[in-house]
A and B are shown apart, each in its own frame.
Chain A
Amino acid sequence: MSDLTRRRLMLGSSALGIGGLLGGCELIENGPRRPGLYGLSDTLTLATQRFLLRDQPLVREFGPEAISAVFPTINTTDPDNSDYRRSKAVGFSDWRLPVSGFVERPVAFTLAELKAMPSRTQVTLHSCEQGWSAIGGWTGVPLSHVLASVGLKPEARFIVIRTVDGWWDSYDLFDALHPQTILAYGMNGGDLPVAHGAPVRLRVERQLGYKSLKYLASIEATDRVDGLGQGRGSMVSEMGFSWYAGI
């Protein structure tokens, strides 16, 4: 836990330092890059919010009575992928989630192994960049626990997550190790439905919905993300959206 505190301080202060470098478009050292004025405003937003969130507050959690009757499903709602369909047919019993990269003990977890880990249930507000919002209840294992169990190496600075339907995104440890960042296998008291990303989806509660990837396929700890793809840090960033979506 003291390690988390140290990292938190480090990351918080580095984000503040970035705030002074108005001309730069490097949000975080070795992190995603974005040129131009939008890179500048993204940097201002990230630096400001890292300062506001320096004590790692939790987002609001609701009681189960607040859960929305309507929770929209967008983008992929049933991956068109033969491995996925076969896995779905056997209740995801053969599904594996490899955790690799800068970790001491790379492991491919089964769904049962994830469910055997300490769980967290959180009823939270999901906010989409398209304007809608809905309240859902999510049950899963904190990503910080999964990473601790494989032994995150000190060089690790980012967590890259890829999905069955070809999406990928990255998170720095400030968000990856937040207590409400969970790998969710349950929704509203039941199993996570296929339309919502079964068997396991990510929840990153302090950012817009597009950072909470569905249909997780792999987790990788890296020391940098500026060499991945176009160097923007995620698939949606390459489509023109902000990498950091705390808005």
Chain B
Amino acid sequence: MMVRAEKAVPRHPLWVRLTHWVNTGAFLALLVSGFAILLALPRLFWGETGANDAPAWIVLPLPVNLEQTGWGCNLHFLAAWIFVLNGALYGLVALASGHFRRRLTPDRDQLHPRHIAADIRAHLRLTGSGAAGARRYNVLQKLAYLAVILVLAPVMLLSGLTMSPGVTAAYPELFTLFGGRQSARTIHFLSAAGLVGFLFIHVWQVLANGPLDLMRGMITGRSARPTSGPAPRERIPTKWLPVRRKNARQNKGRETPA
């Protein structure tokens, strides 16, 4: 009678899921088009100026290709608008709804050094950090999300705008902030590399922690989770069954679907 069951529980509200997937599309488009633009000059500089015959800070081992900047710029700026408008929507709702405070800010106990050390050990065990069944994000997860939302994404946007001759005519302070146009371009590249690093860890963590259930949570908004106890290690075989059993109980007396 007292079945210790997993049940489908609300995981992500609609606005989180929508902005997550819109952002996924925009980010991938920005990545591909940004790479295409980079191929016209795969060299990085500090300061205001930089060109093929000028001394570079780093010469990236990439083939030079001048023919990709047309579609590259078009797609990059279209995707940038989507990234910015979608990000603004996310930021506003996350602030207004308390999402930042409740879901993303580490709790007091999570900031204890021993807790953080334990969390690092859990991540280094490649069997998974238990993210899928957890009631809250773990501390490394929270810190990674906050770093992306509060540091990398704004730096990406501002360093991108510093490469705009129109925007910098209105806000020359951007040049001061980044130390010149080529510095902004280099920082744009480095923070893009940081975001790609986040993407790899993010996808690895999903794959290592019950990918089907996590994907279900981010698409339908609901995912399986135990009513009590720690996160289960095995969840795929029992994924749907408990839900059906619970519904069957509720529908007692009616015709039960086969």
What residues make up the interface of A, taking CB atoms closer than 8 Å to B? 37-38, 40-42, 44-45, 49, 52-53, 57-60, 66, 68-72, 125, 127, 129-135, 205-208, 239-242, 245-247
Q: Considering the chains assembled together, what is the distance between the CA atoms of A132 and B171 in angstroms?
A: 20
Q: Determine how close the nearest CB of chain A comes to the CB of B161; give it in whole angstroms.
A: 9
Answer whether residue B170 sits at the interface, using C-beta atoms and an 8 A cutoff. yes
What residues make up the interface of B, taking CB atoms closer than 8 Å to A? 37-38, 40-41, 48-54, 66, 69-71, 73-74, 77-78, 81, 163-172, 175, 181-182, 185
Q: Looking at chain A's contact residues, is the secondary structure mostly helix, strand, loop, or mixed?
A: loop
B169 touches A57 (CB 8 A): yes
Given contacts A52-B166, A130-B66, 15 further A-B contacts (CB under 8 A): A41-B77, A42-B77, A49-B167, A52-B171, A53-B170, A57-B170, A60-B175, A70-B51, A71-B51, A132-B50, A133-B49, A133-B182, A134-B54, A241-B70, A247-B73
B74 touches A38 (CB 8 A): yes
Q: Which residues of A contact B40 (CB under 8 A)?
A: 129-131
Q: Which residues of B contact A66 (CB under 8 A)?
A: 48
Q: Which residues of A contact B74 (CB under 8 A)?
A: 38, 41, 240-242
Q: Which residues of A contact B48 (CB under 8 A)?
A: 66, 125, 133, 135
Q: CB within 8 A of B168: which of A42, A59, A72, A129? A: A59
A60 touches B172 (CB 8 A): yes
Q: Which residues of B contact A246 (CB under 8 A)?
A: 164-167, 169
B181 touches A44 (CB 8 A): no
Q: Considering the chains assembled together, what is the distance between the CA atoms of A206 and B69 in angstroms?
A: 19
Of all chain A residues, the one with the shortest Cβ separation from B171 is: A52
Q: Determine how close the nearest CB of chain B comes to the CB of A176; give it in whole angstroms.
A: 15
A52 touches B167 (CB 8 A): yes
Q: Which residues of A contact B41 (CB under 8 A)?
A: 130-132
A242 touches B73 (CB 8 A): yes
Q: Considering the chains assembled together, what is the distance between the CA atoms of A170 and B137 in angstroms?
A: 54
Q: Considering the chains assembled together, what is the distance between the CA atoms of A65 and B66 in angstroms?
A: 31
B53 touches A125 (CB 8 A): no
B166 touches A129 (CB 8 A): no
A45 touches B71 (CB 8 A): no
Q: Which residues of A contact B70 (CB under 8 A)?
A: 239-241
Of all chain A residues, the one with the shortest Cβ separation from B181 is: A133
Q: CB within 8 A of A133: which of B50, B73, B81, B169? A: B50
Q: Which residues of B contact A45 (CB under 8 A)?
A: 77, 81
Of all chain B residues, the one with the shortest Cβ separation from A180 is: B169
A70 touches B166 (CB 8 A): no
Q: Determine how close the nearest CB of chain A comes to the CB of B158; give it in whole angstroms.
A: 14
Q: Determine how close the nearest CB of chain A comes to the CB of B152; give it in whole angstroms.
A: 21
Q: Which residues of B contact A132 (CB under 8 A)?
A: 41, 49-52, 54
B54 touches A70 (CB 8 A): yes
Q: Considering the chains assembled together, what is the distance between the CA atoms of A245 and B163 in angstroms?
A: 12
Q: Which residues of A contact B165 (CB under 8 A)?
A: 59, 125, 127, 205-208, 245-247
